[in-house]
Amino acid sequence: MRINKDKGFTLIELLGVIVILSVIIMITVPLVQDKIEESRKDAFVASVDGYLRATRIKNTEEGITEFTVADESITPSVEYRGEIQGEGIITYDNLGKAKVNIWNGKYCAVKSYQDSSVQLVSDVDNYEACMRR
């Protein structure tokens, strides 16, 4: 009886493993990238919601109706603890309802006086177009 002392994998076995791993990577990478992109969008909408909460307090207390988001700040100054990103305008009507147009360089967040929440607009690719929404 002959005992094979050669240990290891053949070239065909190694190539098979590489092909299987390549297929798995080709399937999972786009899915992960989509999830990352969705997370970025959700984070931006959450930030704009935070801007609304902060400016709503100032609007209620002092009656200020227009706020400008630019240069990593909100003017007139409001108490907001997060990172301020993007540029645009938040306006309140005489009933206390907000209108929002904020562009962060990639996404446009908008909310009209009638809307109940902030939405991302997909067909906008620059600041001026975002402000016209």
Residues in the chain: 133
What's residue 118's pLDDT? 96
What per-residue confidence (pLDDT) applies to 31?
A: 95
For residue 63, pLDDT over 90 is answered with yes
Residue 121 confidence (pLDDT) above 60 = yes
- What is residue 31's three-state secondary structure? helix
Amino acid at 101: N
CA distance 82 to 3: 68
Distance CA 97, CA 116 (A): 9
- pLDDT at residue number 123: 87
- Give the pLDDT of residue 126: 94
| pTM more than 0.75 | yes
Considering the chain, what is the average pLDDT of its residues? 93
Is it the case that residue 5 has pLDDT exceeding 70?
A: no
All residues at 6 or more sequence positions from 106 whose CB lies less than 8 Å from its CB, including other chains: 40
Q: Is 9 helix (H, G, I), strand (E, B) or coil?
A: coil
CB 131 within 8 A of CB 101: yes
Amino acid identity of residue 43, one-letter, is A
